A = this chain, B = another copy of it.
Amino acid sequence: MDIKQYMQQVGQQARTASRAIARAGSNAKNAALTAIADAIEAQRPQLLKANSRDLEAGRERGLDAALLDRLELNDERIAGMAEGLRQIAALPDPVGEIADMTYRPSGIQVGKMRVPLGVIGIIYESRPNVTADAAALCLKSGNAAILRGGSEAEHSNQAIAACIHEGLEKAGLPRDAVQVVNTTDRAAVGELIAMPEYVDVIVPRGGKGLIERISADARVPVIKHLHGVCHVYIDDQADRDKAIQVAFNAKTQRYGTCNTMETLLVADDIAADVLPELGAMFKEKGVELRGCEATRRILTDIVAATDEDWDAEYLAPILSIRIVRHMEDAIEHIHRHSSGHTESILTENIGRARRFLTEVDSSSVMVNASTRFADGFEYGLGAEIGISTDKIHVRGPVGLEGLTSQKYIVIGDGHIRL
């Protein structure tokens, strides 16, 4: 069987299983999630053994330390996977929720019912815990999943798949509700993203390169999480101390996350008041600052920012700083350079807060809060499969609801259209 035939078979099986999982009740789905968590804990030795094969192969192939760290499973991470599954079991089930049911003048009742998308293809890189995580979110939202992990985590992913299948069978749900693609051939990805008859949406999780490649070639809708070039704007009517704390937190609370501030915009009139203290704090923390000309007249020992800096997602202790005349210029800069992920204004002026919230076109827009809050758990979604920087279907952190849609339902009593 070649790759195309294999992926077609995977697709057909997913489509068939999607009908069963779509109508499965919450109890069955939760039982499956709990059984998967139990299996993961019970099969810890097998998971560690499979993982050690991946780690060994990775070392032989010369993977760097960061990649090997992402690849590694240990007792704590296995416990974390099981805990994540139980948390998702505890979330409310979005499927079947009926909203806005009203009588129309014709006498029919019209409302919307929340329904699964069908089959979700997830393409991801080295972290094996994504296998359990993504499977759980798809299951709970009533979708069948086709998971394609990185080849470097092959054995770990298959071992986790065994736990998932055990849990599904215990709960009386079809094994094929979650399939982990059983080949490391790259052509499998090409097939997966070109089967609109079997796959309803693709969620790629990984680097910008992977996501851009997939988006360019996909014949199926893609929920993209491209990258995070996030901005904080300190308005001249900001509270000086709050502004310094929030801007510092947005950059330094964690460097490698997509909701970390990458560029700080400061209103001209407050720059001389906030930048010296902020500059000293960043310096002490080891953050490299790159400034515009005006910034460098205040922070005289920092390097000049280049044009590339305004578009950079550093994911590192580096920050670019630009002084702008007023909020309009800040918004203009954001619309030109932001990736549409998260932006925050720091101001005590309610009019400006209102305008910033309305006019900035990003998936999360904030007032007096650190961009680091842009996250499914902080927002109360309970779990997240990614953060969408797309504009259609879903924006921002994507939880269970983002993996569903709404269909119309109509109830009459023999009503005909006149």
Contacts and interface: CB of A to CB of B under 8 A. Distances in A.
Interface of A: 19, 22-23, 96, 102, 104, 106, 108, 110, 113, 115, 117-118, 200-201, 216, 219, 221, 223, 239, 241-243, 245-246, 248-250, 253, 335, 344, 353, 355, 357-359, 361-370, 372-374, 378-380, 390-393, 395-397, 405-417
Given A249-B417, A414-B242, A408 B395 contact: yes
A357 B409 contact: yes
B417 A378 contact: yes
Q: Which 9 A-B pairs have the closest CB atoms?
A: A369-B412, A242-B414, A249-B416, A372-B417, A366-B410, A393-B393, A396-B408, A364-B408, A392-B393
9 contacts: A113-B365, A115-B361, A118-B361, A221-B390, A242-B413, A364-B407, A364-B410, A370-B415, A370-B416
A416 B245 contact: yes
A198 B410 CA distance: 37
Main secondary structure of the interface of A (DSSP, over half): mixed
A108 B365 CA distance: 13
A19 B359 CA distance: 8
Contact of A407 (B219, B242, B365, B407): B365
Contacts of A365: 113, 407-410
Given A253-B416, A412-B366, A391 B374 contact: no
Contacts of A392: 117, 200-201, 221, 223, 392-393, 405
A409 B201 contact: no
A121 B344 CA distance: 30
Contacts of A372: 416-417
Contacts of A374: 408, 410
A180 to B, nearest CB: 23
Given A104-B379, A407-B395, A368 B245 contact: no
Contacts of A242: 413-414
Contacts of A357: 113, 409, 411
A390 B115 CA distance: 13
Given A379-B408, A407-B396, A22 B373 contact: no
Given A110-B380, A357-B409, A365-B410, 13 more contacts: A96-B358, A106-B373, A108-B373, A117-B392, A118-B391, A201-B391, A246-B412, A363-B408, A368-B411, A369-B411, A369-B412, A391-B405, A397-B408
B391 A395 contact: no
A335 B19 CA distance: 9
Nearest to A254: B417
A395 to B, nearest CB: 5
A380 B104 contact: yes
Nearest to A368: B412
Contacts of A201: 391-392
Contacts of A415: 246, 368-370, 373
A308 to B, nearest CB: 18
Nearest to A331: B19
A106 B359 contact: no
A288 to B, nearest CB: 21
A417 B106 contact: no
Given A96-B358, A115-B361, A246-B416, A104 B408 contact: no
Nearest to A249: B416
Given A405-B395, A417-B378, A410 B369 contact: yes
Contacts of A413: 242, 368
Contact of A406 (B23, B108, B249, B395): B395
Nearest to A362: B407
Nearest to A412: B369
A246 B413 CA distance: 10
Contacts of A223: 392
User: Which of A359, A406, A412 neighbours the largest number of chain B CB atoms within 10 Å of its CB?
Assistant: A412
A22 B362 CA distance: 13
Contacts of A370: 412, 415-417
